[in-house]
Amino acid sequence: MEYKTLGNTGERIPCVGMGTWELQHTEKSLTALKAGLAMGDRFIDTAELYGTEDIVGKAIAGEDGVFVASKVWVSHFRHDDVIRACTGSLKKLGLKQIDLYQLHWPSRDVPIKDTMSAMEALLKQGKIRHIGVSNFSVAQLREARDALKGADVVSNQVEYGILMREPEHDGMLEYCAKERITVIAYSPLSHGALFGPGCKELMQTLESVGHGYGKTGAQVALSWLVSHDQVVPIPKASSAEHVKANIAAAELKLSKKDIGLLDRESLRFARPSLASSRNW
């Protein structure tokens, strides 16, 4: 498994993680997570909103060196609520410390200074190691960073993939590259839309490129994301087979020529992100 540096921390994390949004509470899901860990993918992302912290806790029980990321939902952004939410997440995960604790979505109602003061309190208490955000715009990310007194935001988790190029056009990738902030890309295959009839031509291009490497079109799409220095995709760990394929995609090194081809072709099919489609 290849590794990338998390933000400006100097810490190295797998270049492809395991996502758990909409992951079912089944033996199949648990097996998938454990298989990923066994194959070296020791980065799992979850959230209190997902309802998957408990199954993640089961998967990592007895494991060492697993990088676990979770998120606090907007309804818990007031200072004391953040502390309680983190305590609850730690209990479900069976951990004493969360590696990366993220604000799940920008809040309209709670001043960011109040929320960030709680995040820094969690740092001081040793309950979390790093602070991240999710679905924040560049302006919101700047505001969140300015609200911190002795720490910094190390990551922003956003929807990004070969079919959803918004972070390239709204300045997010450029800003994060300049400021050394990791972009964690959720739904890298666009909730399965990449395999739909509307993307048939794009998938044909992906499969054509993949043929030269002995990989599938989906693996090429993930590898295209990994080719961006500061980007770490987190495809859902839906089965052990999918996790194995995702890890193999992380090992694929696309040529500059193929990356350029995919850059051009995918723009014809690009669509808005889930976050931008909501009036938050």
d(CA 250, CA 40): 11
**Which one from 3, 50, 186, 213 is the annotated catalytic residue?**
50
In sequence order, the β-bridge partners of residue 272 are: none
Helical axes 53-60 vs 27-38, angle rounded to 10°: 50
Q: Please say whether the dihedral angle defined by the alpha carbons of residues 206, 208, 209 and 212, taken in this order, is positive or negative.
A: positive
CB atoms under 10 Å from CB of 22, counted, come to 11
- 3 state DSSP class of 10: coil
Q: How far apart are CA 176 and CA 230, in angstroms?
A: 8
Active site residue 50: yes
- Mutual angle of helices 217-226 and 256-266, in 10-degree steps: 100
Q: What is the gyration radius of the CA atoms in the chain, in angstroms? A: 18
Q: Dmax over Cα atoms in the chain, in whole Å?
A: 54
How many Cα atoms are found within 13 Å in the side-chain-facing hemisphere of 25? 8
Centre a 10 Å sphere on the Cβ of residue 161 and count the other Cβ atoms it contains: 28
Active site residues: 50
